[in-house]
Amino acid sequence: MLDTAVARSATIAGELVMHTNTASDLLQEVRARLRRARRVFVLTGAGVSAESGVPTFRGGGNAAVWKGMPFSLISSAEMLERDLPAVWEWFDYRRDALKDLQPNPAHHALAKMQDNLDSFALGTQNIDDLHTRAGSRGVLELHGNIWRARCTRCQARIDLRTADEGERPPACRTCGAPMRPDVVLFGEMLPAGVFERAAAAAMRCDLCFVVGTSALVYPAMQLPEIALQAGAYIVEINPEQTPFSDRCHATLQGRAGEVLKAVTSDG
Ligand code: OAD
């Protein structure tokens, strides 16, 4: 189940935290923390959707280059200015790759976690909508949603699953201006209010999970840092070490679906 026990001692916020136990002991510790937790905040990244078949961006995922262009260029504000149809083509390609994929046990476990808690917030860097499809409510979509488009002029939005007439770029039905994918591109700010709501939840939580993210992209990664500073117990779930691993109280090394299922199981 869990690949490796992470035995570590770390000084976190001035407190010496010792984990010299097995993967199974660490899992039990995290399960006990979850049972006692009053407010939970979760940050997810591409690794959560990996078991659904969504490629990750880094570390062997294949979403990093498209038609010879690095992801950071085709998904950039600069490209939106220069070539909006190319940006649409790229996101149409990604939507097409996503359309038949289903939520996996990691998404379902997080939806179940929410069902059992009075205070729960989930911030995701993913734009695939799989958390919501698994039943998570109020998902804070830090990087937007690939199934939505928004007007470049007036903020009107459409759901591309139900209102896509195939025109590229679609013309806004309110003001006629071209629409764009409602996702955050490199060089852009996060959607107004979403980061702030996530930061407020991170500040208040007593238990924070950081799942399936390389921990490289800011400001999303500020969220677990805020939780850490505020005194929360931080659990990372990832098959690989990340730059944030050494700052977590517990690292459960393994695939998100398996680990989260174990963390949230009733037995
Ligand atoms: P990355 O592709 O950078 O990292 C994926 C992480 O998932 C890595 O740390 C993997 O080790 C881990 N991983 C892979 N398989 C896993 C599994 N089955 N279970 C758990 N973890 C697994 O993706 P993100 O950190 O999400 O931004 O990337 C952050 C942002 O960078 C993305 O939202 C995107 C990208 O640029 C924008 O598009 C604005």
Task: Flag whether 40 is in a domain.
Answer: yes
Distance CA 219, CA 171 (A): 31
Task: Flag whether 178 is in a domain.
Answer: no
Task: Flag whether 229 is in a domain.
Answer: yes
What would the pLDDT profile of 27-58 be if each residue is shown by its tens digit? 999 999 999 999 999 999 999 999 999 988 87
List ligand 1's pocket residues with C-beta within 6 A. Answer: 45-47, 50-51, 56-59, 61, 75, 125, 143, 184, 212-214, 216-217, 238-240, 242, 255-256
DSSP element (H, E) containing 235 = strand 233-237
- CATH number for position 211: 3.40.50.1220
Task: Flag whether 171 is in a domain.
Answer: no
Catalytically annotated residue among 19, 131, 143, 249: 143
Distance CA 23, CA 30 (A): 11
- Please count the structural domains in the chain: 1
Q: Which residues of 30-62 are buried (b: 16+ CB within 10 A; e: fewer)?
A: beebbeebebbbbbbbbbbbbbbebebbbeeee
Task: Flag whether 161 is in a domain.
Answer: no
- Enclosing domain of residue 236: 1-54+101-143+189-267
Is residue 216 helix, strand or coil? coil
Is residue 16 helix, strand or coil? strand
Span 208-216, average pLDDT: 97
Distance 46 CA to ligand 1 centre (A): 4
Residue 23 confidence class, pLDDT cut points 50, 70, 90: confident
Distance 212 CA to ligand 1 centre (A): 6
Q: What is the mean pLDDT of the chain?
A: 90
Query: Could you identify the atom of ligand 1 that is nearest to the CA of residue 215?
Result: 25
Query: Could you identify the atom of ligand 1 that is nearest to the CA of residue 216?
Result: 25
Task: Flag whether 77 is in a domain.
Answer: no
Residue from 214, 242, 258, 263 to probe ligand 1 pocket by mutation (most atoms less than 8 Å from CB):
214
Question: Rg of the chain over CA atoms, in angstroms?
Answer: 19
Q: What percent of the chain has pLDDT over 90?
A: 81
Q: Is the pTM of this model over 0.85?
A: yes
Task: Flag whether 89 is in a domain.
Answer: no
Task: Flag whether 75 is in a domain.
Answer: no
Distance CA 43, CA 36 (A): 20
Between 237 and 12, the higher pLDDT residue: 237
Q: What pLDDT was estimated at residue 11?
A: 35
Distance 130 CA to ligand 1 centre (A): 15
